[in-house]
């Protein structure tokens, strides 16, 4: 018994000593950068030329259903950038697409473009030296959101033992803005599986390329997070401040069917012009949650994004379509679902099956609530990992083999086929109470109807159970 107590005490003292060795820098108080007047650029001229007089005050919206479009548009904006690139992401993978897009952003910085990158700490892992090296570029600034005080890829998780309430709250927002003219918002992170390039799993996902009025809201949101006391300059966190890690070289991502990515400025401008010609000028709003509150343990109230979505649901007249990678409702939400269904409103939801889900823990949480959601009026559909829809989505049959599951990562709600909500918000408890999220709300029957048709097709028997 004494030996067991000694071992336990020794382990406890070791962990206590380990915790005592690390701490975060004092809370950062940023001096908000003065918001300069937007400078004219080729991108701003593209938007001005595309906007008819009757479209003033509206936003251009182009919905991205395919991974190729998602990567190509980010690359086109990067190649065309003249002044600024601002982005925030939950995940930026160290894979072919992640490295290649990063290399083009560095090339933009080399020609004088000011780059601000805000990344959530949860997925930084072993890339801190690389990010620190990039941060030393005179035109690149990198901040890490809500970091652990333990910076090693393994020891980082020790922080959850003593600081769980804070570290359990993550920045799930995803935005990419160039020259104050175009933004990409929605559900995609940066990585091969979001761009139809993975040999392990590829996702049905969705985001939107926007221009016009709504871009200023995206910029305001980014600046709020950038200036938050939860955003730490990576130079304050890195232990290897003098490391000179080079950005790994990456080949140009290759797609089947002879598709190519925009690699030069002229080609990028032409590509963006073609997208603007296909875009819809309409009313759109962008919302994001406030950065984490000082009281990190206050998780009882739904966040602003959840309240906005709930209000849209309560005002629906006939139908609500849901596409959510992770789907878990609590008791209050189940009650609201029952109230909505009693009004005769049809609620249909597409989520992952166990075979298509990349996070089994999330599926177990969903499975525990499945009967209750059905009982309270929700019609549930689960995406097949071998859905034929994969081939149309990826346009590459090799990415849809039995060994490469097709999963759902999109986060979209359609209300009465009139309002579309595209963003980072999953209909689950993390998005409702814990993570910060961002959503684009588009008030347009054409756009909402087109997305609804896409979701309903995915719900068909050949694609879902």
pLDDT surpasses 70 at 11: no
Selected catalytic residue, list 174, 204, 213, 348 = 174
48 is catalytic: no
Q: How far is residue 390's CA from residue 202's CA, in Å, rounded to a whole number?
A: 8
Contacts of residue 210, defined as CB under 8 A and 6 or more positions apart, other chains included, come to 59, 60, 61, 62, 182, 183, 184, 185, 218, 284, 286, 440
Q: What are the residues facing 453 on neighbouring strands?
A: none
Selected catalytic residue, list 179, 192, 205, 444 = 179
239 is catalytic: no
Same domain, 192 and 258: yes
Which two structure tokens, joined as six digits, stand for 227? Answer: 């200036």
Same domain, 426 and 305: yes
Residue range(s) defining the domain that contains residue 249: 57-278
What local confidence, expressed as pLDDT, does residue 19 receive?
46
What local confidence, expressed as pLDDT, does residue 289 receive?
97
Q: Give SS3 for 76.
A: helix
Is the residue at 32 inside a domain? no
Task: Please identify, among 278, 298, 321, the residue that sits at the C-terminal boundary of a domain.
Answer: 278
Same domain, 260 and 351: no
Is the residue at 413 inside a domain? yes
174 is catalytic: yes
Please spell the DSSP secondary structure of 396-408, one letter per residue.
-GGGGSTTS-EEE
Is the residue at 326 inside a domain? yes
Helix/strand number for the chain, H first, E second: 16, 17
Q: Looking at residues 368-395, what average pLDDT do you find? A: 95
Is the residue at 321 inside a domain? yes
Selected catalytic residue, list 55, 95, 163, 416 = 416
Q: Which of 6, 182, 160, 215 is nearest to 77 (CA)?
A: 182
pLDDT surpasses 50 at 40: yes
Is 333 within 8 Å of 432 (Cβ atoms)?
yes
Selected catalytic residue, list 363, 411, 417, 444 = 411
363 is catalytic: no
Task: Please identify, among 220, 245, 278, the residue that sits at the C-terminal boundary of a domain.
Answer: 278
pLDDT surpasses 90 at 450: yes
Same domain, 176 and 270: yes
Is 424 within 8 Å of 90 (Cβ atoms)?
yes
204 is catalytic: no
Q: How far is residue 415's CA from residue 151's CA, in Å, rounded to a whole number?
A: 43
What local confidence, expressed as pLDDT, does residue 17 receive?
44
Half-sphere exposure (Cβ direction) of 147: Cα atoms closer than 13 Å: 31
Is the residue at 8 inside a domain? no
Is 452 within 8 Å of 417 (Cβ atoms)?
yes
Chain mean position to CA 282: 23
Same domain, 265 and 308: no
Half-sphere exposure (Cβ direction) of 315: Cα atoms closer than 13 Å: 9
Same domain, 236 and 360: no
% of residues, the chain, pLDDT over 70:
91
pLDDT surpasses 90 at 208: yes
Q: How far is residue 116's CA from residue 98's CA, in Å, rounded to a whole number?
A: 16
Q: What are the residues facing 359 on neighbouring strands?
A: none
Q: Give SS3 for 231.
A: strand
Mean of the per-residue pLDDT values of the chain: 91
What local confidence, expressed as pLDDT, does residue 18 receive?
47
409 is catalytic: yes
Half-sphere exposure (Cβ direction) of 164: Cα atoms closer than 13 Å: 3
Selected catalytic residue, list 66, 83, 409, 417 = 409
Same domain, 239 and 289: no
DSSP-derived letter for residue 436 is B
Is 19 within 8 Å of 162 (Cβ atoms)?
yes
pLDDT surpasses 60 at 307: yes
Q: Looking at residues 30-59, what average pLDDT do you find? A: 86
Same domain, 179 and 223: yes
Residue at token pair 């290399």: 103
Is the residue at 9 inside a domain? no
Is the residue at 24 inside a domain? no
Same domain, 293 and 264: no
Same domain, 403 and 439: yes
Count Cβ neighbours within 10 Å for each residue of 369-380 and write b for 16 or more, e otherwise: bbeebeebbbeb
Task: Please identify, among 249, 278, 307, the residue that sits at the C-terminal boundary of a domain.
Answer: 278
Count of structural domains, the chain: 2
pLDDT surpasses 90 at 41: yes
Chain mean position to CA 309: 17
User: Backbone phi, then psi, for 321, in 5-degree steps?
Assistant: -105, 135
Banded pLDDT at 238 (limits 50, 70, 90): confident
Is the residue at 6 inside a domain? no
CATH number, position 113? 3.30.870.10
Same domain, 161 and 124: yes
Q: What are the residues facing 286 on neighbouring strands?
A: 440
Residue at token pair 């599951």: 405
Same domain, 402 and 258: no
pLDDT surpasses 90 at 200: yes
Selected catalytic residue, list 66, 149, 156, 172 = 172
């Amino acid at each position: 018994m004494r030996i067991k107590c000694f071992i336990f005490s020794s382990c406890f003292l070791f962990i206590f000593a380990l915790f005592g060795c690390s701490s975060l820098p004092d809370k950062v108080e940023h001096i908000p950068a003065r918001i300069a007047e937007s400078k004219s650029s080729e991108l701003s001229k593209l938007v001005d030329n595309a906007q008819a007089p009757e479209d003033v005050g509206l936003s251009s919206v182009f919905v991205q259903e395919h991974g190729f479009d998602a990567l190509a548009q980010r690359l086109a904006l990067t190649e065309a950038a003249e002044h600024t690139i601002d982005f925030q992401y939950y995940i930026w993978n160290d894979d072919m697409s992640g490295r290649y897009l990063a290399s083009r952003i560095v090339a933009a910085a080399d020609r004088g473009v000011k780059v601000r990158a805000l990344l959530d700490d949860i997925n930084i892992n072993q890339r801190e030296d690389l990010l620190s090296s990039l941060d030393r570029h005179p035109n690149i600034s990198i901040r890490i959101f809500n970091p652990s005080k333990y910076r090693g890829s393994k020891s980082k998780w020790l922080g959850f033992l003593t600081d769980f309430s804070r570290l359990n709250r993550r920045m799930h927002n995803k935005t990419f803005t160039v020259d104050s003219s175009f933004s990409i918002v929605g559900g995609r992170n940066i990585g091969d599986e979001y761009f139809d390039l993975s040999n392990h799993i590829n996702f049905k996902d969705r985001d939107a390329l926007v221009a016009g009025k709504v871009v200023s809201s995206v910029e305001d949101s980014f600046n709020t997070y950038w200036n938050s006391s939860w955003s730490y300059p990576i130079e304050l966190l890195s232990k290897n401040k003098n490391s000179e890690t080079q950005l790994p070289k990456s080949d140009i991502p290759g797609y089947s069917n002879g598709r190519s990515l925009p690699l030069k400025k002229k080609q990028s401008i032409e590509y963006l012009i073609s997208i603007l010609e296909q875009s819809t000028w309409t009313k759109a709003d962008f919302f994001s949650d406030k950065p984490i509150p000082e009281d990190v343990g206050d998780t009882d109230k739904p966040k602003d994004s959840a309240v906005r979505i709930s209000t849209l649901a309560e005002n629906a007249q006939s139908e609500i379509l849901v596409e959510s990678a992770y789907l878990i409702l609590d008791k209050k939400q189940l009650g609201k679902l029952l109230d909505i269904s009693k009004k005769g409103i049809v609620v249909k939801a597409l989520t992952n099956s166990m075979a298509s889900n990349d996070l089994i823990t999330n599926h177990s949480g969903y499975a525990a609530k499945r009967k209750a959601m059905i009982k309270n009026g929700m019609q549930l559909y689960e995406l097949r990992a071998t859905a034929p829809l994969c081939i149309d989505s990826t346009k590459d049959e090799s990415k849809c083999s039995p060994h490469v599951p097709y999963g759902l990562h999109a986060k979209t709600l359609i209300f009465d086929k009139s309002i579309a909500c595209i963003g980072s918000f999953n209909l689950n408890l993390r998005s409702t109470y814990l993570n910060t999220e961002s959503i684009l709300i588009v008030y347009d029957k054409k756009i909402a109807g087109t997305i609804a048709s896409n979701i309903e097709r995915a719900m068909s028997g050949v694609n879902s159970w």
